[in-house]
Structure 1
């Protein structure tokens, strides 16, 4: 899928980017090098500009199969009941630097706009060259295994006694609308805890944002045991993958 024409939603605007340009949030290229915070959320920072909760806009973009986009935040009012708003204010960032609705869901408005996308399925393929295992004491573990082209991202994410499994695509095929709704309209663990299926479905979206949006993976098998700060696992595994590809261990 690619963006045919620009559009605006309540909290952000999206416009087409040059093919191969990738995704930019408030001018920040989405890449591993620009990750400034990875715990219960992802912040990106580049040349003094910072964006908060990047995963909540990246998840719908990637699940729609979008490779290139220019996104600008439009949030206009501070909500100091939200910790991220207080932090953004304290470091002199604007309200538009914060992505995602206040109820803790992803930017699902991307699913509801019409006439702005055109079907152009990417054949790009990127998986891990060998199994990547990353553990962080007290936070959990993640294992990423190679997978063949067009097999998608196969997730199995566990928190305590709850496990959610899903296969999603960021290239080759389109995801079922019912599955997209289930993922993108589920609330973050920071809002509803980890004691039900809902936050685990949200985590599927976050993992897609991190591993496919920031890490550019298209096909892999991902098994993870997580707590609240699971972004430390996804980004940690991507950094380990980067070291492997550079010839490290």
Structure 2
């Protein structure tokens, strides 16, 4: 079982409105009571400033970050802009962006490097498809993503890795604890091989239909240092029990 401080990060994806920010009060209260657990919410760009203003100590983050600080990049948002809006972290390389926006490992690495350079905690996502797993390629695919996507975690920011098996995102399916243990051990070994002792301290989150019913079982797995939570992070009713499960581990 991991001895690193757990991180529970909620990814609202393209969901949420000003009215939904009312959920933050109960989430922040649970976070304050959860000793040894860091809690973050990543709402859409449009809500970051409003969320940061009423977060009550809860870390507010973004769901993506452009690799350049400024320039002719219509529709994109840079790390300095995120910080000015009140973000303290960002997700990069989520499987939905890799698929929908055709993001390469090299682009994900550049985005992560930009975020880290500006002191944002950066969650770098990796994970295999159902076809990859069925063909026995899960480890090979994730290792290649790690090699291509991870920056050198220098500067004031913190790098986190999120393992999100694509076939378990939003499907109701979740990897078995044996699957999670195997993949997180592979990721840990890669981090240590590439970053030495520092690799042993980088947190690895599990993401893939995490909910109250399976959170405690997942958090008991070695090298699972928290969770990247999708749909269950949209309401305090569903998200708070996950925070509480992490606090008990």
TM (normalized to structure 2)?
A: 0.25
Flag the structure with higher helix content. Answer: 2
TM (normalized to structure 1)?
A: 0.25
